[in-house]
Structure formats: C-alpha cells, structure tokens
Chain A
Amino acid sequence: GENVEQHPSTLSVQEGDSAVIKCTYSDSASNYFPWYKQELGKRPQLIIDIRSNVGEKKDQRIAVTLNKTAKHFSLHITETQPEDSAVYFCAASTRGYQKVTFGTGTKLQVIP
C-alpha cells in the first residue's frame, strides 16, 4: 500500500517568516495530494490540494508543489501568523480523492 513520509516533525518559525513542509510518497499511482491543518481535538481541515497533472498550486499565502518523478510534494506557507500554529498533515490517494493515506504530521509553531 501507499506510504507517506513527512518532515520535519516539528517546526518553529518567527511570525512573518516562511515555513516549508516536505513529503514523499511511495506509490507512483497516487494522483491526488491534499494537505490538512488540524488543531488540537478537532477534525482535519483541507487547506489546499493538488492533482497529479499539476506541478504547482497557490492560494494566497499557501502553495504546494509536486514532483511526480521524485515522488515529492511540499507545502509552503509565507508570511506566517500565530494562527497558522497547528499540526499539518500531507496525504496521498491512489483511488479517487477520498481514501487518503496520511503523512506523519508536522507540528508548526509560529512565534509572535
């Protein structure tokens, strides 16, 4: 089955700086890569996603890049704010867009 690795596990940045989280996946058939933000005790919230036919996608301060050849994808958050502090999960899916395999998670702390 699919295996998704994510790093770093923790990340501290100063407010206003950028944060980058990287993931790798194992199944070359994966075609959908969502990113989720999860606050303590709450449900994962989709913040951005990318399909395998796209190399990059941006939504305001958030961007995601995908390298299918290397099986890497990354999340970039610019101009970080304290409210960006949370745990972020990457994920990958090989069949449809709903059955996803999650990465191990990154706890992001934005220091005011």
Chain B
Amino acid sequence: GAVVSQHPSRVICKSGTSVKIECRSLDFQATTMFWYRQFPKQSLMLMATSNEGSKATYEQGVEKDKFLINHASLTLSTLTVTSAHPEDSSFYICSAGTDANTEAFFGQGTRLTVV
C-alpha cells in the first residue's frame, strides 16, 4: 500500500512557541491531504483539508490563524501550530490517498506536548 510519513513522531515545546509537523506521501503524489487531531481516549476529529497549491479548508471551530497549513508540493503538507498552549497538546495525524476513489493512508502521528 501507499506510505504516508509524519515527522516528528514526538515533540515537546514551550508554551508560546510554534511547532511544525510534516506529512509526506513517500511513493505517490497527493493533491489532497487531511489533518486530524485526537485527544486522549477520544476519536479523531478532522481539522482541515490541505489542498496542493491552494488554501486549506478548515472545519468549523478550527482556528486557521493558529493552525497554519501549507501544501506546497504534491508530496508534502505541513501543519504549524502557532503560539502553542498546553490545551493544544494532542496527537496530530495526517492522511492521504493515491486518488479520490481509494482508501486513505494515515501517517504514524505526532504526539505534541506543550509545557
């Protein structure tokens, strides 16, 4: 199957700083990627749809100025958590697929801890 890789897998940052998470499709091109957030013992909640070469589409209630998404190439999307606070601590996961009619493949996730 297709491989989606995230980096870093774990990150600890200080409150008020920014953190960038990368999501790469290793063996295919992805015009669309998706970013999810998962709090402990909860489900995955879609944050935004990342579109190559255009602005991301954010789900209701997600602050676009806080969660900056850049999808500058067909194999890379980045999520930057700006001015992070402890309540942003979560598991962030991206997904992508080879085309609209195939299953989504998930990255391994990034555990963000804001102290």
Is A97's CB under 8 angstroms from B43's CB? Answer: no
Which chain B residue lies CB-closest to A4?
Answer: B43
Instruction: Please give, as numbers and ranges, the residues of chain A lying within 8 Å of B91 by CB-CB distance.
Output: 41
Is B101's CB under 8 angstroms from A99's CB? Answer: no
Q: Which bucket holds chain A's interface residue count?
A: 20 to 34
Is B46's CB under 8 angstroms from A97's CB? Answer: no
Is B44's CB under 8 angstroms from A102's CB? Answer: yes
A41-B111, A44-B44, A89-B44 known; A97-B102 Cβ under 8 A: yes
Count chain B CB atoms within 10 A of each CB in A43, A49, A89, A97 and give the residue with the most: A43
Which of A89, A100, A103, A105 is the one whose CB lies under 8 Å from B104? A100
Which A residues have a C-beta under 8 Å from some C-beta of B? Answer: 1, 34, 41-44, 46, 49, 89, 95-105
Kindly supply a per-residue 1/0 record for chain B positions 70-112, scoring 1 wherever the CB is within 8 Å of any chain A CB and 0 otherwise.
0000000000000000000001010111001111101111010
Which of A1, A34, A95, A104 is the one whose CB lies under 8 Å from B43? A104
A42-B109, A43-B109, A98-B32 known; A89-B43 Cβ under 8 A: yes
Instruction: Please give, as numbers and ranges, the residues of chain A lying within 8 Å of B49 by CB-CB distance.
Output: 99
Kindly supply a per-residue 1/0 record for chain B positions 53-71, scoring 1 wherever the CB is within 8 Å of any chain A CB and 0 otherwise.
0000000100000000000
Q: Which bucket holds chain B's interface residue count?
A: 20 to 34
Instruction: Please give, as numbers and ranges, the residues of chain A lying within 8 Å of B111 by CB-CB distance.
Output: 41
A42-B108, A98-B34, A98-B97 known; A34-B103 Cβ under 8 A: yes
Which of A46, A99, A104 is the one whose CB lies under 8 Å from B34? A99
Instruction: Please give, as numbers and ranges, the residues of chain A lying within 8 Å of B43 by CB-CB distance.
Output: 89, 102-105
Count chain A CB atoms within 10 A of each CB in B32, B45, B100, B104 and give the residue with the most: B104
Is A46's CB under 8 angstroms from B107's CB? Answer: no
Is B108's CB under 8 angstroms from A105's CB? Answer: no
Instruction: Please give, as numbers and ranges, the residues of chain B lying within 8 Å of A103 by CB-CB distance.
Output: 43
Instruction: Please give, as numbers and ranges, the residues of chain B lying within 8 Å of A97 by CB-CB distance.
Output: 97, 100-104
Is A44's CB under 8 angstroms from B106's CB? Answer: yes
C-alpha spacing A37/B46, complex, angstroms? 17
Which of B42, B96, B108 is the one whose CB lies under 8 Å from A98? B96
Is A43's CB under 8 angstroms from B103's CB? Answer: no
